[in-house]
Structure 1
Amino acid sequence: MKKNLFFTMLLLPAICMQTYAQAGKANRELLRKADEALQLAARQYKGMMTHVPDAVLPRSTNKDGSLMTSNTAWWTSGFYPGTTWYLYEYTKDPAFKAEALKRMELVKKEQYNTRTHDLGFMMYCPFGNALRITGDTAYKAILLTSAQSLSTRFNATIGCIKSWDHGTWKFPVIIDNMMNLELLTWATRASGDKKFEQIARTHANTTIKNHFRKDYSSYHVIDYDPANGAVLQKKTHQGYADSSAWSRGQAWGLYGYTMMYRETKDKAYLNQARHIADYILNNPAMPADLIPYWDYNAPDIPNALRDVSAGAVAASALLELSRFTSKTEAQRYWTAAEKMLSSLCSPAYLAKEGENNHFILLHSVGSLPHNSEVDVPLTYADYYFVEALLRYKMWSK
């Protein structure tokens, strides 16, 4: 029997299984919408297969409406093959498996890339899913090499993995980096080498200490002094202001700490995830449909752009968080995720078939301050949306 490394997520304690049964009560209408959205996603990505040139990966839509692509070194390169694995799992259509394998051949060389912190996104999304779904242990060596490459960016004095090598930063660490730690916790399980998980834990602990405000909103970028680990600056790069709450950053934090609790069972990570979830769901700037504005402090709310990618990441995270919390909290998180998914499955955010350059979702925001990928589809919005739909179907009872 093939190991399910992603969805089984280790054996959960009895209380979590009880919470799962309580919180995961089926919403038949949403289950119907989820299937319809997944079927649309499969048709859209069938179109994508013929739309994307062989040597590149889809990324977004250009300002003129044409398809935006990337090379394999771009941080989103793993999402498209990762999504095609999810769609293969859902449809059992071998065309999706063939497409995933074809694009992974392009991405495979990035296992040696030590110039990026995004190897979790780039490598674990496609190759981790490939290993989980096929059971082919050849993917282990690629993932372990990727984990080793990521580990080279860890600074023990600071206690973090360096995010960027560009700009005037000394040692920048962004909240997004929480998402790449799953590659390291997996690597310890797969290899028995505890250093990978220790790096992940240390990074997560340092991030709790320095990235979060008293209300559990997160700064986007913390710049450290590599000589002594001191915090030099608390800034933003993609949010409205240094003091604001960039919505996708909050979603990255929620997902990252929920994942770290699943992987380690350290209650500090569960508590952090709960606090972040409550910040998001209690935020007075959260719209009624629970699809966030691109920044919770955007000055033009309620006319500010939404960031569908933030909603998709948060929905997937909240579904999982509901499995680890008490009955009342679990129901609250589950219900919020249902509302987010119901909104994402609506015509307000779901593309029409054959349109949107064959992406699934509309209205994401990459970086508004840089006028980059503004109000467009994004591969990672699609990835976490499909993941959330599959989680919802699997965990509904």
Structure 2
Amino acid sequence: MMKRKILVLKYSFLAILLILLNTFNVNGQDEFVKKSFTTADPLYTNLLKATEGNFKNYPHSFLENGNIKYYQIDEWTGGFWPGSLWYMYEYTKEEKWKKAATAWTNSLESNQYNTKHHDIGFMMYCSYGNALKFDDNPKYKEILIQSAKSLTQRYSPVVGSIQSWNTRKSKGDINLWEYAVIMDNMMNLELLFYASKVTNDPVYKNIAINHAAKTMQNHLRADYSSYHVVNYDPKSGKVLHKQTLQGFSDESTWARGQAWGIYGFTTVYRETKDKRFLKTAVKMANFFLDHPNLPKDKIPYWDFNVGQPGFKPDWDFDPKRFKETPRDASAAAITSSALLELSTYVKGKQKQKFYNAALAMLKSLSSDTYLNTNNANPYYLLKHSTGNLPSNREIDVPLIYADYYFLEALTRYEKSK
């Protein structure tokens, strides 16, 4: 009898211990999410005050002189600020964030007619697309449909892709970009899928699928690393040349470009259930995660091959300029968000690999190394992103799109539990 009581007490103690440990683990995981949104609160409050009533200039980064770096309404990152505000509202349920998010979203209305470049998806779906989660406003749907129409005007059935940049000289004036398509363009396809769903018109979806298939064909190397830019002949659709403009060299792998690809092909698989796109997303993700030059904290250098044997830049790169190779927190934020979704489409070890990697990235980004807990600047959440190093722009700075995808990933993580 005594032995039975001892045995019961022993297992009761173990059961309680397991419950406590499980609670501790869950709370420990939740804590980094809470920490990140709590850190964002005063920073974004400052940014709202600094931008109050100024709906023509959209916060993009931070300058060395202590000023906010703005982009204009027609430039590519305008949608990330209202999108970040929507994620703040989704997490906190505080009306001040909804009010601000609504105002900044509405300020982008004229962009629905923007046909100057391909970034209409970034600008409009990250803002109005998020707004629709909380306000089923018919006007928002109309604006997104018109935005999709504007984007399709840049599609060529001859090339089979949406043109990213207008005709201009390429890096080093070596070639002319006659019909440049960049990996980033994969991120704009979600807008087209949305337009087809709400209009029942397949034209938008078909363009998105064609573009993704062409990108899969020409932007990827045999190991599923990616080129940044593919230049086509607009008359024949022939590939003229390939470059990695914002990377270390044309044959290297620019970290954010790889991140765009993982995210973009994951989205296309979600909308089509075409296994070709799932395979591409998985292979690109594995390249990213398995690369020997990925740091232990899983926050990549701005290029996977910077300084490695066999990769030589065709621009003036001085490795002594930096104490350490610059990281790109934005690439990690984008990838973590993509991996959380991608993990839901695969099984077994692959599923766990992607989910664990995303969680590891989020924990790194929420550490004091990358999270702006020391007031490194008064406005932005993440530190240590790289915009365009070869052009000497935005090196080791905060970037609004890094914040946006980080908040999106945190939100996705919360929903995944």
**TM-score computed with the length of structure 2 as normaliser:** 0.87
Please give the alpha-carbon distance, in whole angstroms, between the structure 2 residues aligned to 1:217 and 1:126. Answer: 30
Q: How many residues align?
A: 371
CA-CA distance at 1:318 after TM superposition: 0.5
Contact 1:40/1:353, CA 8 A, preserved across alignment: no
Q: Does the aligned pair in 2 maintain the 1:154–1:161 contact within 8 Å? A: yes
Q: 1:132-211 maps to which residues of 2 (within 5 A)?
A: 132-168=133-169, 169-211=177-219
Counterparts of 1:225-236 in structure 2, within 5 Å, are 225-236=233-244
Correspondence list, 1:108-147, <5 A:
108-147=109-148
Question: Does structure 2 retain, via aligned residues, the 8 Å contact 1:131–1:137?
Answer: no
* 1:352 to partner: Cα distance: 2.1
List per-residue Cα deviations over 1:274-295 (Å, max 9, x = no partner).
0001000110100000000000
Where do 1:213-228 residues align within 5 Å? 213-228=221-236
**Structure 1 residue 391 corresponds to structure 2 residue 412:** yes
Q: Distance in 2 between matches of 1:132 and 1:140?
A: 12
8 A contact 1:257–1:270 mirrored in 2? yes
Moved more, 275-284 or 295-304: 295-304
Equivalent position of 1:42 in the other structure: 41
Amino acid aligned to 2:300: P
Could you tell me how far 1:211 is from its partner in structure 2? 0.3
In the TM superposition, 1:43-122 aligns within 5 A as: 43-52=42-51, 54-55=54-55, 56-122=57-123
Which of 237, 245, 254 matches 1:246? 254
Relative distance call for 1:302 and 1:198 in structure 2 (3 A) is farther
Give the 3-state SS of the residue equivalent to 2:132 in structure 1.
helix
Cα distance in 2 for partners of 1:91, 1:339 equals 24
Q: Distance in 2 between matches of 1:254 and 1:27?
A: 28
Matched, 1:358 2:358: no
Confirm or deny: 8 A CA contact 2:167 2:178 kept in the other structure: no
| 1:240-291 deviation line (CA, Å, top 9, x unaligned) | 1111100000000000001111111111111100000100011010000000
Q: Cα distance, 1:27 vs. partner?
A: 4.7
1:354 Cα deviation from its structure 2 partner: 4.9
Whether the aligned pair in 1 keeps the contact of 2:288 and 2:294 (CA below 8 Å) is: yes
Aligned-residue offset at 1:113: 0.4
Deviations 1:198-227 (CA, angstroms, capped at 9, x unpaired): 000000000000000001000000000001
Matches within 5 A, 1:335-354: 335-352=356-373, 354=375
Question: For 2:201, what is the secondary structure of its paired residue?
Answer: coil
> Would you say the 8 A contact 1:67–1:357 is kept in 2?
no
Equivalent residue, structure 2, for 1:10: none
What is the match of residue 298 of structure 2? 290
Amino acid at match of 2:241: Q
Q: Does 1:262 align with 2:261?
A: no
| Aligned counterpart, 2:7 | none
Is residue 81–residue 101 contact of structure 1 (8 Å, CA) maintained in 2?
Answer: yes
CA distance in 2, matches of 1:153, 1:379: 26
% identity of equivalent residues? 45
**Which is bigger in relative contact order (C-alpha 8 A, separation at least 6)?**
1
Q: 1:30 offset after TM fit, Å?
A: 2.2
Distance 2:352 2:58 in 1: 38
Tell me how large the CA RMSD over aligned residues is.
1.4
Measure the CA separation in 2 of the matches of 1:236 and 1:122: 23
1:134-175 per-residue CA deviation (whole Å, 9 max, x = no partner) reads: 222220000000000000000000000000015221000000
> Per-residue deviation at 1:311?
0.3
Report the secondary structure of 1:240's partner residue.
coil
Aligned partner letter, 1:150: L
Q: Which moved more, 1:295-304 or 1:90-99?
A: 295-304
Q: Distance in 2 between matches of 1:362 and 1:36?
A: 15
3-state SS of the aligned residue for 1:358? coil
Residues 78-125 of structure 1 show CA distances to partners (whole Å, capped at 9, x for unaligned) of 000011011111111111111112222321101000111001100000
Structure 2: give runs of 5+ residues left out of the alignment.
1-24, 170-176, 308-318
Structure 1: runs of 5+ lacking an equivalent? 1-25
Q: Secondary structure at the match of 2:168?
A: coil
Distance (Å, rounded) in 1 between the aligned partners of 2:270 and 2:41: 29
Structure-2 separation of matches of 1:265 and 1:42 = 38
Give the whole-Å Cα distance in 2 for the aligned partners of 1:124 and 1:293.
Answer: 28
1:19-67 deviations in Å (ceiling 9; x for gaps): xxxxxxx754222111111122133211210022513110101132321
Task: Choose 1 or 2 for highest CA Rg.
Answer: 2
* TM-score w.r.t. length of structure 1: 0.91
- Partners of 2:42 and 2:199 lie apart in 1 by 38
Q: Report the more deviating stretch, 51-60 or 177-186.
A: 51-60
Looking at structure 1, the residues matched to 48 and 225 of structure 2 have their Cα atoms a distance apart, in angstroms, of 39
